[in-house]
Structure 1
Amino acid sequence: MNLRLQPVQVATGSDDQESQLVFHEGFLVAVLVRLSDEHGADIGKWFLEAGFGRVDDPNPPIFADLDEAQAWITSQLA
């Protein structure tokens, strides 16, 4: 399964601005945001800011890196 990532800046209201839009088969399925130093031990990790369809999650996960995030998104879409 191929995912396409597109870097963007998201106005989250915090210092978390580095983000990725995640597309699958032309559809936006998720928005990932890289956590800033405001998040202590989670600095540099990626957060599911928004998921759509099967990627929506009431308890959005935090991922160590983009590879882990993509693997999780792929599993949600399978």
Structure 2
Amino acid sequence: MIKVRKLAPGFSLSKVRIGTVEGGESGFLVWKSNHLVAVLTQIDEEAYSTKGKWFLETGFGLLTGQHKNFDTIEEAVMWVGRHTFPRSVPVAAD
């Protein structure tokens, strides 16, 4: 299990299957203060020695248009944490 509190305060992850290939790929929705800020996928390709690494599939806000590979999920979440809005945002009431 990933201890997100150690990586970036205010972040949480939701495990999902991302429909980028037939059958989908493992991935995580990255949340900060209940706001979706990024979608990360685990690379399942042998090419270029990238299998098992993580890819910023899409980002929102300050991450819009960014695409980047990471060696670990922890590295990916730390990077997202450094590049999203700097302060916690108010949590919307349900």
* TM-score range relative to shorter protein: 0.7 to 0.9
TM-score by length of 2: 0.73
Kindly provide the CA deviation profile for residues 17-60 of structure 1, in whole angstroms up to 9, marking residues without a partner as x.
100000001000000000003444010000000100012234x0
Structure showing greater radius of gyration is 2
Which of 63, 75, 90 is matched with 1:68 structurally? 75
What is the percent sequence identity of the aligned residues?
A: 31
| Closer, same or farther: CA 34–15 of 1 in aligned 2, 3 Å | farther
TM-score by length of 1: 0.87
Bigger helix fraction: 1
Runs of 4+ in 1 over 3 A off after TM superposition: none
- For the aligned residue pairs, the C-alpha RMSD in angstroms reads 1.7
Which of 15, 20, 34 is matched with 1:26 structurally? 34
Tell me the residue number matched to 1:41. Answer: 49
**Can you give the 5+ residue segments of structure 1 that lack an aligned partner in the other structure?**
none
Aligned length: 77
**Can you give the 5+ residue segments of structure 2 that lack an aligned partner in the other structure?**
1-8, 87-94
